Amino acid sequence: MAKIIYKFLFFFLVTNCLSNDNNSSKDLENIIKDYILKNPTVIIESLENYRKKTELEIQDRLEKNIKNFYLEKTYDAFPFIGKKDSKLILTEFIDYNCGYCKKTINTINKLHKNIKDIKIVFIDFPILSESSEIAAKASLASYNQDAYFDFHSKLLEHRGEIDISLLIQIAKGLDLDIKKFEKDMNSEEISNRLQLNKKLAETLNIRGTPTFLLGNNILAGAYEYEKIEEMIFLEEKEL
């Protein structure tokens, strides 16, 4: 940002400098430095205005992307629990190695039990490690056998390392077709799904987990049940 201001000052002052043929590049540099020293508030104000302008542009772009998420019904492509056609939608971005994500499973279960009209959407967003990627592929493979939320819950309840043997164990416990499960885990289709998930997170400026999307609000972190319930009720009044 400082370079931008410096360039601005350069062009602002260069006309005066060029009017005198005796001015060298060193003279020009000294003039600019002198101007900066004598007018520090101009620099501060310029930097602040630039920051505000950039933040507004980012916010406008983000609001547009969130609006498109709902208008285009992007959420329909993801696993969910709750009322299928509900307009009250809570979306969670998760990584199975995320300790805070593991804390949210109880909150999600309570919301599902207590708020009958809500639709809770899950977006696998593996960012922490290679095993996060493998776990996300496994959860999407379970989705292909209509067992996503059960598999998802078992993974979040697990404490410790995640590896392929654990994933197979959970799949067997849910009576999944193991051959299909393993095939789907390694499929191009599921790899592509995860790439789309990451692209969606990028468009929504989501960089960590857990992150919730509720209406036009992006909520980063593991919210307590009472707080997120309150925000859901406020959102419901806006619908």
Q: Is the residue at 3 inside a domain?
A: no
Is-cis flag, bond preceding 79, omega within 30?
no
Of 239, 92, 78, 73, nearest to 156 by C-alpha is 92
Nearest Cα to Cα of residue 189 among 178, 177, 179, 197: 197
Whether the model clears a pTM of 0.85, i.e. scores above it, the answer is no
**CATH number for the domain harbouring residue 222:** 3.40.30.10
In a domain, 126, yes or no: yes
Do 140 and 176 meet the contact criterion of CB atoms below 8 Å apart? no
- For 126, other C-beta atoms within 10 Å of its C-beta total 23
d(CA 17, CA 94): 57
Residue 77 domain flag: yes
- Boundaries of domain holding 141: 72-238
Does 27 reside within a domain?
Answer: no
Is 56 in contact with 87 (CB distance < 8 Å)?
Answer: no
CA separation for the pair 229, 185 (Å, rounded): 34
How many separate domains does the chain show? 1
Please report, as a single letter, which amino acid is at residue 170.
Answer: I
Sheet holding 217-220, edge to edge: 80-82, 118-124, 88-94, 211-214, 217-220
**Which pLDDT does position 25 carry in this prediction?**
65
**Which pLDDT tens digit goes with each residue over 60-119?**
788 888 888 888 888 898 999 999 999 999 999 999 999 999 999 999 999 999 999 999
- Residue pair 31/22 in contact by the 8 Å Cβ criterion: no
* 8 in a structural domain: no
| 29 occurs within a structural domain | no
Question: What is the Cα–Cα distance from 29 to 174, expressed in whole angstroms?
Answer: 72
Specify the DSSP class assigned to residue 76.
G
On whether the CB atoms of residues 193 and 140 are closer than 8 A, the answer is yes
Reported as a single tens digit per residue, the pLDDT across 164-201 is 999 999 999 999 999 999 999 999 999 999 999 999 99
**Which pair of tokens denotes residue 45?**
């104000």
Any domain includes 53: no
